[in-house]
Structure 1
Amino acid sequence: MSRRLTLIFWPWGFIGLVFAVVVVALALKPVYHAAKRWRAGTFLKRADSALKAGYWKRADEQASLALQMDPNSLEAVRVLARSARQQGSSSCVALWSEVAQWPEATESDRVELAAAALQFGFQDVAEKQVEVLLAQPRPSAAVYRLAGILAHHEQQPGIAREWFERALQLDPKDAGARVNIAELDLLAPANAGSEQRALNSLRELARRRDEWGLESLRILVSWARRKPAAMPFDPGLAAALRSHPLAGMRESCLAADWEMQSHPEHADELLRDMVARASSLPPPDQRELAQWLNRHKFFEQTIRAFPPDAKLSPQTLVCTLDAMAALGKWSELNRFLEQDLFTEQPALVWLFRARAARELRNAQVFEVDWRQAVRSAGNDPAMLRYLGYYAEMLGETAAAVAAYEALRASPPDELEALLRLIRPYEALGRTTDLQKVFERLAVLRPNDAVVRNDYAYLTLLLNPANLDARQKAEQNYRANPRLPAFAATYALSELRQGRPSTAVTAMRAVPADEITAPGWQAVFAASLKGNGDKAEAAKWAHLIDTSHLKPEERALVADMVGGSR
């Protein structure tokens, strides 16, 4: 009997157990997700604190962990975008673009996107965002201010003023708009009276204890440095900049610059004071001070303030090693590099090993170490950017190309990398590579007439028979006949087609004092010679700095110019 009951109830008991497990699992699932969201919130708080303190790497790590816990954390992407912008990385534009696509994105997110786009040269992105924001039923004062900043960036001060004034009408307490208007009047005063009014306005705003008070102080001091006769050194204003509650080492350095410019005899005392408090500064301020000391070539003071120590932050330690390199301390530098340094950024060790090899005239070791530095940087855009900058600073143009080409492989940083490649490719005379750069730029910035024109110009230098380049040259010229770059491209096209008289006519339409680039001068000289104006062609050829000609441009005037000058 008991066996029969067991056989009857066992299946039902098993089913009940399974049902209970399912119920418990369903009940625990929301708890599990809630726990993950809570954990993500904890990471976000840490990321935000690290970002405010200037610890970018920690902020990135914590924000990334928050995203792992909660892939729908919009705030985590915002933190990553802010961090990238503070680090000077153009990847912040891609991150803010991602934020703007979320349904929960706010107006301030679009403002951040447009501001970042302007900072890193994505003008078309900024223009699009401003259009979207202005199309809202009721744009805020921040949107009008952004439109003003865009107009100022496009060198349209009158339109910029209108937008700033509209922001002020909407919110009479908008200190940012008042600062913008005052700065506009200071940089492009209509008369002496407007300049003085701007100074008075900024002095009043400088009393504020918020970001706009600090910005007003920065503007005043920066302007005074540019125009020392108009505003002599003011100890009170310098002290106000240093002591502002939001001021950091950046502001202390700006005030010191002003004082040393006006009173060089104060330099030693200022340096002693700044170096004396170096060890007590937080790491972000230590980095700022070390960079400032090196910028002024106070290398001994850099080493005194921040002796080589593996415990220094990587950014500050780089400055110390730079100072040692500048002073030729190669033996000390090589010994120090034998330590376990920059474990998270090994490219820096290879960078300084390459620098030491270069200065010791060991070209082969330099090349090997430099390749290793680029390889060690991997896909870290900030490190690749730094390697490229460092190579250019050393005059190692080919090494800079290697770093920027690696940076180009990162989609968010591709545009920045392409723009950075222009200068080294020009210096190396690699016109074919330069043309490929502009070919890609034309795809990324299809509405940029300057890019289209430069692409057509380079294509015509390399392939005179290219029909598409000829058509683009004419289209661009017809739309902008008075711009020398556009006229030179059209003239080159006409010259290549055996019509030098048309080429000369196009160049003569441009004021002579605006034909300043060696390439434009070469095109004009070659066109004049082809048209039979040999005397004038010789005059233009004599003006050319041939050291800045591309090989193909040099070929245009090879029989008219001698060696480089």
Structure 2
Amino acid sequence: MGWRFWNSCLNVTARMNEESGRRRHFYRATKRRRRIFGIAFIALLLAALLALRPAYHWLKTKRADSLAAKAERFVQEENFLEAANTYRAALQLDPLGYNPLQGAARLATRLNHDEALGLWDQVVRLPQATSEDREERAAVLLQAGKFPAAALAIDELLKQNPDTNALVLASRYSERTGNSAKALEYARIAMKRAPQDEIAQARLAEVLAASLKADERAEAREILWAVAAKNGADRKSAIESLARAPDLSRDEQTKILDQLHTLDPFTVTDALLAADLRLKMQPENTALIIDEIIARWGTKAKLEIAQWLNAHQQFDSVLTLVGPGERRPQLLLARLDALAAEQRWGEIETTLSRKDLSFDSVVVEAFRARLAAARPLSLNAEVHWNKAITLAGNDSSKLRWLGAFAEQCGADEIAMRTFQRLERSPADTSLALAGQQRLATKMHDISAARTTAEKTLALHAADPNAQNRVAYYNLLLEKDVSANATKAKELVAKYPDRLEFRVTAALALLRQHDPGSALAQFQGPPIEWAKTPPSWRAVYAAALIANDEDARANELLKSILLDRLSPEEAALIQRK
């Protein structure tokens, strides 16, 4: 009986174990199936997401492009605020989209906003970027004064079969960095490639208009008249350039004055150009012309009018236009300039002591120096100038302003020191050297002028003007006469119409004791000696004296003030 019971218990236990095993197996199988299903579901979900991601990105790109197109329509309607907001929305959808980035960059450029350069930097990194995009970026760099970066960008453009725009950019860069010969060379190449292109025509005319040669200025006017006769995009700039030309006849002045008033829009720049022409043509109506300009533009373009009035020495009008309570820095600066011209030093001191003055400290110290120099406080003036230079540090924009201001004030040594410091900035080297050259010439320091000329020549070895200056100063100092005489003769052979080069060649021949050939350099069309620098007249007078042309020499010498010559130049006309 006990055995049966025990056996029955074992059977029950076995059945229970078997059932439990079946349940565990079923649970494990179910769990495994669930895991497999979960993994499969996640895999399918990821696959779906991966499949949808390109589609989603495509939809975002299309939407961003649609917004960019909408923004462009706002630009065409000159609704710039809506255009900017729409471009911003497009870039939020597609931060690296070509159309939104390019459109936003162009709008920022048009509005002269600081972010333009950053946007163009992003545009040119995209695979869709075109040569036109790279040209626009280079133009923005040039406009911003970032010359080293602009040079790299323009060099890249010139390596790739450059179009007219690239050549025009190269010409503008050369002009901005002081290489007038290269500026003219690139402008002529652009004109040769596209003779009917108004942009190329306008650029060549701009370069020629700044020439010292009368025939090149005449060529510039001829080009500008042709552009102005067309109703193209550059008609306005051509008319404005003609209005600035120095050699206009009375009939040309009248014609340009009429054309200025046809410009639409007629800006304050056009109004001031028209006023300048009227002042030349009707000097007896100066007061009326000034009053008309102030009445029409004095409120909406106060700064431009104040600066123009200062340039025309209408200082009382500036002080009436810009009151003593003015707080805007640029307008207050114009008022201070007028006060200084009127020698109203007490009012300047009061202005500089204002607690609400928002001028940069460099400007304040420079004006304090100017104020001290006008009083018997010359030592104080030097202290303030030195402080201004220290405060400017290596900030090129502040140094540019300070150098120009010191030169304007007649503080030549301070201006020279400032330009020497500015020379350390690669982007400003040419400008700084040009300033040093002017000052050295003004101070009659031929050794300093020669050193500066050699630095300029090292930067622009192909520039004939730089070559001529070095030869002239070396010949004045009687250094390497033979080599410099050879260079002077080469320049005259290549540029026979350049009077400045013929003056240097004449000096070379005088140093080589060949007075007859020296005087022959001045043969040809009559020269208006009254319009030439005293140093040129001194060389011509020396050639006349060496050829026993005493009567002509004496007549010319009457027009030369010895204090306008360096000791070396004065020695040329001293009879032995």
Task: Identify the residue that residue 475 of structure 2 maps to in structure 1.
Answer: 460
Cα deviation 1:228-269 (Å, max 9, x = unaligned): 5x58989xx979845843222122233344556666786666
Task: Identify the residue that residue 452 of structure 2 maps to in structure 1.
Answer: 437
> Partner letter of residue 141 of structure 1?
D
Task: Identify the residue that residue 115 of structure 2 maps to in structure 1.
Answer: 62
Equivalent position SS for 1:35 = coil
User: Is 1:247 matched with 2:266?
Assistant: yes
Whether contact under 8 Å (1:381, 1:413) holds in the other structure is yes
Task: Identify the residue that residue 145 of structure 1 maps to in structure 2.
Answer: 201
User: Is 1:212 matched with 2:235?
Assistant: yes
> Partner letter of residue 547 of structure 1?
D
Give the Cα separation in 2 of the matches to 1:428 and 1:490: 24
Cα deviation 1:293-320 (Å, max 9, x = unaligned): 22233323323322245642x4333212
Equivalent position SS for 2:461 = coil
Give the Cα separation in 1 of the matches to 2:497 and 2:383: 49
Cα deviation 1:175-195 (Å, max 9, x = unaligned): xx7x53387xxxxxxxxxxxx
Give the Cα separation in 1 of the matches to 2:266 and 2:521: 48
Whether contact under 8 Å (2:419, 2:436) holds in the other structure is yes
User: Is 1:123 matched with 2:176?
Assistant: no
Q: C-alpha displacement at 1:452, in angstroms?
A: 1.9
Give the Cα separation in 2 of the matches to 1:101 and 1:245: 35
Cα deviation 1:2-32 (Å, max 9, x = unaligned): 9xx9xxxxxxxxxx9xx99xx9xx9999999
> Partner letter of residue 171 of structure 2?
A
Q: C-alpha displacement at 1:507, in angstroms?
A: 1.6
Equivalent position SS for 2:347 = helix
Task: Identify the residue that residue 563 of structure 1 maps to in structure 2.
Answer: none
> Partner letter of residue 505 of structure 1?
G
Cα deviation 1:75-114 (Å, max 9, x = unaligned): 4442242455xxxx99998487357358697532432432
Distance 1:92 1:141, change over 3 A: farther
Distance 1:272 1:346, change over 3 A: same
Task: Identify the residue that residue 173 of structure 1 maps to in structure 2.
Answer: none
RMSD between superposed Cα atoms in Å: 5.2
Whether contact under 8 Å (2:298, 2:305) holds in the other structure is no
Task: Identify the residue that residue 35 of structure 1 maps to in structure 2.
Answer: 95
Whether contact under 8 Å (1:43, 1:62) holds in the other structure is no
Which segment drifts farther, 360-369 or 516-525?
516-525
| 1:82-231 → structure 2 map (5 Å cutoff) | 82=143, 84=145, 94=151, 97=154, 100-101=157-158, 107-115=164-172, 117=174, 122-130=179-187, 133=190, 141-142=197-198, 145=201, 149=205, 180-181=225-226, 212=235, 215-216=238-239, 219=242, 230=251
Task: Identify the residue that residue 413 of structure 1 maps to in structure 2.
Answer: 428
Q: C-alpha displacement at 1:547, in angstroms?
A: 1.9
Give the Cα separation in 2 of the matches to 1:455 and 1:489: 10
Task: Identify the residue that residue 9 of structure 1 maps to in structure 2.
Answer: none
Q: C-alpha displacement at 1:429, in angstroms?
A: 1.9
Give the Cα separation in 1 of the matches to 2:259 and 2:544: 60
Task: Identify the residue that residue 188 of structure 1 maps to in structure 2.
Answer: none
Whether contact under 8 Å (1:47, 1:79) holds in the other structure is no
User: Is 1:425 matched with 2:485?
Assistant: no
| 1:209-358 → structure 2 map (5 Å cutoff) | 212=235, 215-216=238-239, 219=242, 230=251, 241=260, 244-258=263-277, 271=290, 274-275=293-294, 280-281=299-300, 285-309=301-325, 311-312=327-328, 314-337=329-352, 338-339=354-355, 341-342=357-358, 345-358=360-373
Equivalent position SS for 2:111 = helix
> Partner letter of residue 268 of structure 2?
M
Q: C-alpha displacement at 1:40, in angstroms?
A: 6.3
* TM-score, L = length of structure 1: 0.66
Q: C-alpha displacement at 1:433, in angstroms?
A: 1.0
Task: Identify the residue that residue 507 of structure 1 maps to in structure 2.
Answer: 518
Distance 1:105 1:335, change over 3 A: farther
User: Is 1:549 matched with 2:549?
Assistant: no
> Partner letter of residue 246 of structure 1?
P
Gaps of 5+ in 2: 1-27, 33-42, 62-91, 126-132
Whether contact under 8 Å (1:464, 1:493) holds in the other structure is no
Whether contact under 8 Å (1:456, 1:470) holds in the other structure is yes
If you compute each CA radius of gyration, which structure gives the higher value, 1 or 2?
Answer: 2
> Partner letter of residue 95 of structure 2?
A
User: Which of 105, 111, 114 pairs up with 1:44?
Assistant: 105
Distance 1:462 1:293, change over 3 A: same
| 1:364-443 → structure 2 map (5 Å cutoff) | 364-443=379-458
Distance 1:225 1:268, change over 3 A: farther
Cα deviation 1:200-221 (Å, max 9, x = unaligned): xx6xx6xx696525754884x7
Cα deviation 1:381-435 (Å, max 9, x = unaligned): 5544443333333333223323332333332332233233323211212111100
Equivalent position SS for 1:552 = helix
Equivalent position SS for 2:343 = coil
Distance 1:112 1:142, change over 3 A: farther
Whether contact under 8 Å (2:121, 2:137) holds in the other structure is no
Give the Cα separation in 2 of the matches to 1:484 and 1:83: 36
Whether contact under 8 Å (2:440, 2:449) holds in the other structure is yes
Give the Cα separation in 2 of the matches to 1:508 and 1:264: 41
Aligned residues: 482
Q: C-alpha displacement at 1:437, in angstroms?
A: 1.5
Equivalent position SS for 2:266 = coil
User: Which of 361, 371, 379 pairs up with 2:376?
Assistant: 361
Gaps of 5+ in 1: 6-15, 52-58, 165-176, 184-201, 561-565
Give the Cα separation in 2 of the matches to 1:340 and 1:68: 39
Whether contact under 8 Å (1:528, 1:537) holds in the other structure is yes
